[in-house]
A and B are shown apart, each in its own frame.
Chain A
Amino acid sequence: MSGISLTNWQSSGHRRRRPNYLHVTVGVGVAVTMFLAYSLLHCMPNEPALVSIAVFNFLFIFLIFPLEGSLLRKVFLLLSGNIVGLAWYLVQLSFEAASAHYLEMGAFKVIYVVMGPIIDLIWIVSFWSLGLSFLASTQSRNEKEKEGIS
Chain B
Amino acid sequence: MILILHLTLILLATFISAYLIRHYIFTLTALYHQERPPHHTPHDMVYQPKVSVLIPARNEENVIGRILHRMTELTYPKEKLEVIVIDDASTDQTGEIAEDFAKKHEYIRVAHRKPEDGGKGKPAALNHGLKHAIGEIIYCFDADYYPQRDILEKLTIYFADPKVGAVQGRVTVLNEPNTLVTRLVALERIGGYRVDQLARDNLGLIPQFGGTVGGFRRSLIEFLGGWDANMLAEDTDLTFKTYLAGYKVRYVNEAECYEEAVENWRSYWRQRCRWAKGHMQCAFRHLWPLIKSKNLRLREKTDGFLLLNVYFVPILVGLAWILGATLCLVHSSSWITSLWVSIPIFVYSSVGNFAPFFEVGIGAYLDERVRIYWLIPLLFLTFLFNMLICTKALIDLCLSKITGKKQQPWAKTLHNGRGNRCLNAPRRHPLKDIDI
Which of A's residues lie within 8 Å of B, judged by CB?
1-10, 12-16, 18-19, 46-48, 51-52, 55, 59, 63, 66-67, 109-110, 113-114, 117-118, 120-122, 124-126, 128-130, 132-133, 135-137, 140
> Which of B370, B374, B433 is the most central at the interface, judged by chain A CB atoms within 10 Å of its CB?
B370
Q: Are the C-beta atoms of B32 and A19 separated by less than 8 Å?
A: yes
Q: Are the C-beta atoms of B46 and A136 separated by less than 8 Å?
A: no
Closest to B32 in A: A19
Report A-chain residues with C-beta under 8 Å of the C-beta of B433. 13
From B77, B150, B157, B338, A48 is in contact (CB under 8 Å) with B338
Confirm or deny: B339 has a beta carbon within 8 angstroms of a beta carbon on chain A.
yes
Closest to B336 in A: A47
Q: Are the C-beta atoms of B32 and A2 separated by less than 8 Å?
A: no
Q: Are the C-beta atoms of B345 and A120 separated by less than 8 Å?
A: yes
Which among B35-43, B61-69, B230-238, B291-299 touches the partner chain?
B35-43
Q: Are the C-beta atoms of A18 and B32 separated by less than 8 Å?
A: yes
Report B-chain residues with C-beta under 8 Å of the C-beta of A110. 329
From A13, A114, A140, B325 is in contact (CB under 8 Å) with A114
Which of B's residues lie within 8 Å of A, judged by CB?
27, 31-32, 35, 37-38, 41-48, 77, 150, 153-154, 157, 160, 253-254, 325, 328-329, 332, 335, 338-339, 341-342, 345-346, 348-349, 357-358, 361-362, 364-371, 373-374, 376-377, 379-380, 433
A/B interface sample: 15 pairs, CB < 8 A:
A1-B41, A1-B46, A1-B47, A8-B153, A12-B35, A15-B368, A16-B32, A48-B342, A51-B338, A63-B362, A113-B329, A117-B342, A118-B380, A129-B374, A136-B370
From A6, A19, A117, B345 is in contact (CB under 8 Å) with A117
Q: How far is the CB of A16 from chain B (nearest CB, A)?
A: 7
Report A-chain residues with C-beta under 8 Å of the C-beta of B41. 1, 6
Closest to A47 in B: B335
- Contact residues of A: prevailing secondary structure: helix
Check A121/B349 contact, CB under 8 A, given A12-B254, A113-B325, A129-B361: yes
Docked Cα-Cα span, A16 to B198, in Å, equals: 13
From B48, B345, B361, B367, A132 is in contact (CB under 8 Å) with B361
Q: Are the C-beta atoms of A9 and B153 separated by less than 8 Å?
A: yes
Docked Cα-Cα span, A18 to B160, in Å, equals: 31
From B335, B345, B357, A118 is in contact (CB under 8 Å) with B345
Interface pairs A-B: 7 shortest CB-CB: A117-B345, A133-B373, A47-B335, A129-B376, A1-B45, A129-B373, A113-B328
Report B-chain residues with C-beta under 8 Å of the C-beta of A67. 31, 365
Report B-chain residues with C-beta under 8 Å of the C-beta of A13. 368, 433
Docked Cα-Cα span, A125 to B338, in Å, equals: 20
Check A2/B46 contact, CB under 8 A, given A48-B341, A113-B341: yes
Check A120/B358 contact, CB under 8 A, given A3-B46, A125-B349, A137-B370: no
Q: Are the C-beta atoms of B365 and A121 separated by less than 8 Å?
A: no
Report B-chain residues with C-beta under 8 Å of the C-beta of A125. 349, 357, 376-377, 379-380
Check A128/B361 contact, CB under 8 A, given A16-B32, A19-B32: yes
Q: How far is the CB of A145 from chain B (nearest CB, A)?
A: 14
Docked Cα-Cα span, A117 to B339, in Å, equals: 10
Closest to A1 in B: B45
Report B-chain residues with C-beta under 8 Å of the C-beta of A118. 345, 348, 380
Docked Cα-Cα span, A44 to B233, in Å, equals: 50
Closest to A119 in B: B345
Q: Are the C-beta atoms of B32 and A136 separated by less than 8 Å?
A: no
Q: How far is the CB of A110 from chain B (nearest CB, A)?
A: 7
